[in-house]
């Protein structure tokens, strides 16, 4: 795979850690009041986007940035195409499973005999039993993973929905959740890159097709397939895959042009500007909406992602470490762990955390509180990582 290297790319790690920091932050602003409206999410029926609406697509873009390096590493270690394919499939399944369970946790009956807080904590424990990076000298790893499967199935069996429905049939795919949507985007972009990484033009065409499918979804084109429509998820809306493919192309461009920095920065800036302008020009047609995953939102966030990548590459060029980054490094090396830790925190400490004095959850002080909360979660993740409590799928 001549177009990629197998070393970690500091720029991607820095961008990933920073994005995860702000993802934790924006997921915590529900505890705040009287903060600027531009920080939060924009309602589904409003044409626009806030700072919070940029974070998730940026993370999808970073998933795409990492795909060429991840696949190159697998192949460099001697993995066959089939082995890489199975790796992509198992990672996707893991993300979908976690996503669906976490979405159902939102609808768990607060009055169930097993309190929701404990159900959520046991759910996160099952994830760790299944997908923890166990120490190599640890015994009985197989049985720990089996225990994870049993615990996960047990939680599904005792699940009780808000309306009183119980058991596995009560669980539904209301939406795939953040992790599930990442899984779908990763699957699409990973497969495209695995089979066509030697042909850049195919990667470009695939990205344009994903954009096209997103536009087609705005006109309900796929309704003509009738009963088959629910099974044409990708064709109906491929926004997540498009974000990931933009990341893939950005890495491919970097590896092809890293010895020609002017061409890399100029070309990347040009693409970003085109996306930003196109997003604004099409706003009267489709509107900007994260909830509806509109093409205009896709183009605007895609352009922002590319610009941030260019800036991060420039700032990290020739460096092996960055001082301020060290304090949030765990958000890059243990990203999934970092994302899940707040679930346990909220489950166990929400009664206390939500009763903080009003001045601590209001305005600028509240914003600082949530920023410190994000930093604290990353420090907890770092300590877990040191003790081999890290998830990897």
Angle between helices 295-316 and 200-218 (to 10 degrees): 140
**pLDDT at residue 24 tops 70:** yes
Say how far apart CA 157 and CA 155 lie, in whole Å.
5
Please state, as a whole number, how many other Cβ atoms lie within 10 Å of the Cβ of residue 369: 19
pLDDT tens, residue by residue, 156-186: 999 999 888 888 888 888 788 899 999 999 9
Cα separation, 222 vs 225, whole angstroms: 6
> Between 216 and 337, whose confidence is greater?
337
- Burial (Cβ within 10 Å: 0-12, 13-18, ≥19) of residue 220: exposed
Band of residue 1 on the pLDDT scale cut at 50, 70, 90: very low
Residues 58-77: pLDDT tens digits? 999 999 999 999 999 999 99
pLDDT tier at 111, thresholds 50, 70, 90 = confident
Q: For residue 232, name the pLDDT band (cuts at 50, 70, 90).
A: low
Give the DSSP letter string of 105-174.
HTTB-TTSSS-HHHHHHHHHHHHHHHHB---TT-S-HHHHHHHHHHHHHHHHHT-BBTTS-BSGGG---S
Q: What is the CA radius of gyration of the chain?
A: 21
The predicted structure's pLDDT at residue 7: 53
Q: pLDDT-derived band of residue 201, with 50, 70 and 90 as boundaries?
A: very high
Instruction: Give pLDDT tens digits for 131-145.
Output: 999 998 899 999 999
Give the number of other CB atoms < 10 A from CB of residue 243. 29
Residue 174: its pLDDT value, please?
77
pLDDT of amino acid 223 = 74
Query: By percentage, how much of the chain surpasses pLDDT 70?
Result: 95
Is residue 4 helix, strand or coil? coil
Q: Is the pLDDT of residue 6 over 50?
A: no
End-to-end CA distance of the chain, in Å? 23
Residue 256: per-residue pLDDT: 95
Tens digits of residue pLDDT in 255-293? 999 999 999 999 999 999 999 999 999 999 999 999 999
Structure tokens at 57: 């697509």
Calculate the average pLDDT of the chain.
92
Query: Is pLDDT at 2 greater than 50 in this prediction?
Result: no
Is the pLDDT at 210 greater than 60? The verdict is: yes
**pLDDT computed for residue 35 by the predictor:** 94
pLDDT of 384 > 50? The answer is: yes
Confidence (pLDDT) at 172: 81
Q: Check pLDDT > 90 for residue 296.
A: yes
* pTM across the whole model: 0.93
Average pLDDT over residues 87-116: 93
Residues 6 or more apart whose CB falls under 8 angstroms from that of 17 comprise 325, 328, 329, 330, 331, 332, 378
**Quick check: 188 pLDDT over 90?**
yes
* HSE-CB for 322 with a 13 A CA cutoff: 21
Which range, of 118-127, 208-217, 318-327, 383-392, averages the lowest pLDDT?
Answer: 318-327
């Amino acid at each position: 795979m001549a177009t990629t290297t197998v070393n970690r790319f500091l720029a991607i790690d820095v961008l990933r850690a920073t994005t995860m920091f702000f993802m934790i932050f924006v997921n915590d602003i529900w505890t705040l009041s009287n903060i600027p409206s531009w920080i939060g999410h924009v309602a589904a029926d409003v044409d626009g986007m806030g700072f919070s609406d940029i974070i998730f697509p940026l993370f999808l873009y970073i998933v795409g940035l990492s795909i060429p390096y991840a696949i190159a590493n697998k192949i460099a270690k001697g993995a066959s195409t089939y082995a890489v394919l199975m790796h992509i499939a198992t990672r996707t399944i893991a993300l979908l499973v976690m996503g669906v369970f976490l979405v159902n946790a939102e609808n768990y009956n607060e009055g169930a005999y097993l309190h929701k807080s404990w159900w959520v904590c046991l759910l996160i424990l099952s994830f760790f039993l299944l997908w923890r990076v166990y120490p190599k000298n640890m015994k009985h790893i197989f049985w720990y993973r089996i225990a994870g499967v049993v615990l996960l199935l047990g939680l599904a069996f005792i699940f009780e929905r808000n309306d009183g429905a119980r058991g596995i049939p009560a669980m539904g795919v209301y939406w795939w959740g953040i992790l599930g949507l990442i899984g779908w985007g990763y699957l699409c972009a990973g497969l495209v890159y695995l089979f066509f990484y030697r042909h850049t033009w195919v990667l470009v065409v695939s990205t344009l097709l994903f954009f096209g499918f997103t536009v087609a979804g705005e006109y309900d084109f796929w309704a003509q397939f009738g009963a088959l429509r629910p099974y044409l998820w990708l064709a109906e809306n491929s926004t997540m895959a498009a974000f990931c493919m933009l990341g893939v192309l950005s890495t491919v461009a970097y590896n092809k042009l890293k010895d020609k920095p002017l061409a890399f920065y100029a070309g990347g800036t040009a693409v970003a500007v085109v996306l930003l302008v196109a997003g604004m020009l099409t706003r009267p047609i489709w509107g900007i909406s994260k909830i509806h995953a509109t093409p205009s939102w896709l183009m605007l966030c895609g352009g922002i992602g590319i610009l941030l990548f260019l800036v991060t590459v420039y700032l990290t060029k020739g460096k092996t470490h960055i001082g301020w980054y060290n304090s949030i490094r765990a958000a890059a090396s243990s990203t999934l762990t970092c994302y899940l830790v707040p679930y346990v925190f909220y489950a166990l400490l929400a009664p206390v955390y939500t009763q903080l004095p009003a001045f601590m959850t209001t305005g600028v002080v509240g914003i600082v509180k949530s920023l410190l909360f994000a930093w604290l979660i990353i420090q907890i993740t770092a300590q877990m990582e040191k003790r081999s409590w890290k998830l990897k799928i």
